Amino acid sequence: MIAVKSLDVQTIRKDFPILGRRINGRPLVYLDNAATSQKPVQVIDAISAYYGLYNANVHRGLHTLSEEATVAFEEAREKVARFIGASDPSCLVFTRNTTESINLVAYGWARKNLKPGDVIVVSHLEHHSNLIPWQMVARDTGATVRFILLTPEGTFDMDSLDEALQDGARLVSVSQMSNALGTINPVEEVARRAHEAGALVLVDGAQGAPHLKTDIRAMGCDFYAFSAHKMCGPTGIGALYGHPALLESMEPFLGGGDMISHVWFDRATWNEVPYKFEAGTPDIAGAIGFGAAVDYLNALDMEAVCDHEQELTAYAVNALSEVEGIRIYGPKDTRLRGGVISFNLEGVHPHDVSQILDSEGVAIRAGHHCCEPLMRLMEVPGTARASFYLYNTYEESDALVQALHSVRKVFHHVASGRPLP
């Protein structure tokens, strides 16, 4: 596959100061991007400029600084909305992260609308943040949660979606891409079938927005949840896109300043969307940093980002397959997966893999990746997970493979009882 516009990774790397670090005497190889991405200097500078030059609260003061901060905050909303293909920025609510965005739908829409007999459909590979809120809604409303099952390779079994959609489905909530297996899910087709059955669709874009060119209109979802920190932006800020009519009809999640229109001692009326859902002083610096992050990604071109990651992943999967005793999870066809590779080494706990890799400067994540039920299905305590982003190189993939050979060597010696050379 030839990239429309290929990434100049060496130049990109210069934008990320942290990538110059050495860890345990080795150059940092950061392969924990599914947990959070690193931040380019453009984002760090945008946040610093806000605090250093025009720090003020938004939407209230009539002084110059407050006006400047408000303009920057609202411009960020426009940029982020445009980034996911939403034409109307008022449909984009700033939240703390994907988790809060999903909870906003759970509190603002689901608790108000669901009743016994209603069904919420999620898949077996969801992150806890797209499972627990629905378990809680089910507990509080009497609705039930049904599941899309997985094929042995970790893709959606679409027949099980059709079954789950029968009788009472009101909401289907699925991830665009799995953080545990890397599977890119067919969200457009899920949305089509869900809508045919009369259900709304929420897409958890935590792993989608950072890595895949995303257009919520083409996807056909009613809600889209994502976090800035996985896409070059700061922590503490995320967003929920909602269909305008749905946001209008929803109850606020938090009450307080900014979310009201008028207040009496015994009642209040709500501000317009999206402010109705943004009680209290927002993360102004975070929103401005989020805007700078999408500027950065737009300048690179998301199709080029996606192509780079898929090519790098195909290369890495191929090289990793040569490591003795490795088991790689998720789809074999690398066109069906993003830059996440979950694996286990026979006889070695994933925590030990991660620790030995760290001693060689390679940062990966090990554990259940907030997908404990999926790990139980897979009958593993957890996996080791390498996850790529736009600044990762083929040499870094080689360093990962090299470090895994070291892991094998250490454990081979431990198993044989011989001292390490």
Rounded to 10°, the helix 394-416/350-359 angle is 120
Is residue 175 part of the contact set for ligand 7TS (CB under 6 A)? yes
Could you tell me the smallest distance in angstroms from the CB atom of residue 254 to ligand 7TS?
A: 17
Could you tell me the smallest distance in angstroms from the CB atom of residue 227 to ligand 7TS?
A: 3
Q: How far apart are CA 352 and CA 51, in angstroms?
A: 41
User: If we measure between CA atoms, which residue out of 247, 311, 252 comes closest to residue 279?
Assistant: 252
Residue among 300 and 370 whose Cβ is closer to ligand 7TS:
370
By CB under 6 A, name the one of 113, 155, 160, 207 that touches ligand 7TS: 207
Angle at 291 between CA 38 and CA 389, to 5 degrees: 30
Segment near ligand 7TS (CB under 6 A); pick from 133-141, 202-210, 267-275, 328-336: 202-210
Helices (H), 8-147: 9-14, 41-53, 64-83, 98-105, 111-113, 132-141
Is residue 39 part of the contact set for ligand 7TS (CB under 6 A)? no
Cβ-contact 308, 84 below 8 angstroms = no
Cβ-contact 317, 326 below 8 angstroms = no
User: If we measure between CA atoms, which residue out of 307, 294, 304 comes closest to residue 227?
Assistant: 294
Residue nearest to ligand 7TS (CB): 179
Is residue 98 part of the contact set for ligand 7TS (CB under 6 A)? yes
Eight-state DSSP code of residue 110: I
By CB under 6 A, name the one of 127, 211, 368, 408 that touches ligand 7TS: 127
Residue among 34 and 138 whose Cβ is closer to ligand 7TS:
34
**In which residue are the tokens 């250093």 written?**
52
Give 365's strand partners.
385
Q: How far apart are CA 376 and CA 142, in angstroms?
A: 26
Question: Which residue in the list 91, 232, 306, 370 is annotated as catalytic?
Answer: 370
Q: What share of the chain is helix, strand, coil (3-state, %, to 5)?
A: 45, 20, 40
Segment near ligand 7TS (CB under 6 A); pick from 203-211, 251-259, 263-271, 410-418: 203-211
Is residue 342 part of the contact set for ligand 7TS (CB under 6 A)? no
Q: How far apart are CA 412 and CA 406, in angstroms?
A: 10
Active site residue 370: yes
Q: Which residues contact 216 (CB under 8 A, 6 or more apart)?
A: 84, 85, 86, 203, 224, 241
Is residue 354 part of the contact set for ligand 7TS (CB under 6 A)? no
Q: How far apart are CA 241 and CA 234, in angstroms?
A: 19
User: If we measure between CA atoms, which residue out of 99, 369, 359, 40 comes closest to residue 231?
Assistant: 40
User: If we measure between CA atoms, which residue out of 104, 99, 56, 113 comes closest to residue 273?
Assistant: 104
Residues 208-227: x/- map of binding to ligand 7TS (CB under 6 A)? -------------------x
Segment near ligand 7TS (CB under 6 A); pick from 37-45, 92-100, 216-224, 261-269: 92-100
Residue count at the site for ligand 7TS (CB under 6 A)? 17
Segment near ligand 7TS (CB under 6 A); pick from 96-104, 247-255, 355-363, 413-421: 96-104
- Enter the tokens of residue 218: 């083409």
Could you tell me the smallest distance in angstroms from the CB atom of residue 363 to ligand 7TS?
A: 12
The full length of the chain comes to: 421
Is residue 99 part of the contact set for ligand 7TS (CB under 6 A)? yes
Segment near ligand 7TS (CB under 6 A); pick from 123-131, 239-247, 255-263, 302-310: 123-131
Is residue 309 part of the contact set for ligand 7TS (CB under 6 A)? no
Residue among 138 and 386 whose Cβ is closer to ligand 7TS:
386
> Where in 365-394 is the site for ligand 7TS (CB under 6 A)?
365, 369-370
Residue among 79 and 96 whose Cβ is closer to ligand 7TS:
96
Residues 133-172: x/- map of binding to ligand 7TS (CB under 6 A)? ----------------------------------------
Q: How far apart are CA 120 and CA 385, in angstroms?
A: 29
Pairing of strands 326-328, 340-345: antiparallel
Residue among 44 and 132 whose Cβ is closer to ligand 7TS:
132
Could you tell me the smallest distance in angstroms from the CB atom of residue 178 to ligand 7TS?
A: 7
Binding interface with ligand 7TS (CB under 6 A): 34-35, 97-99, 127, 129-130, 175, 179, 204, 206-207, 227, 365, 369-370
> Would you please indicate which residues are annotated as catalytic (active-site) residues?
370
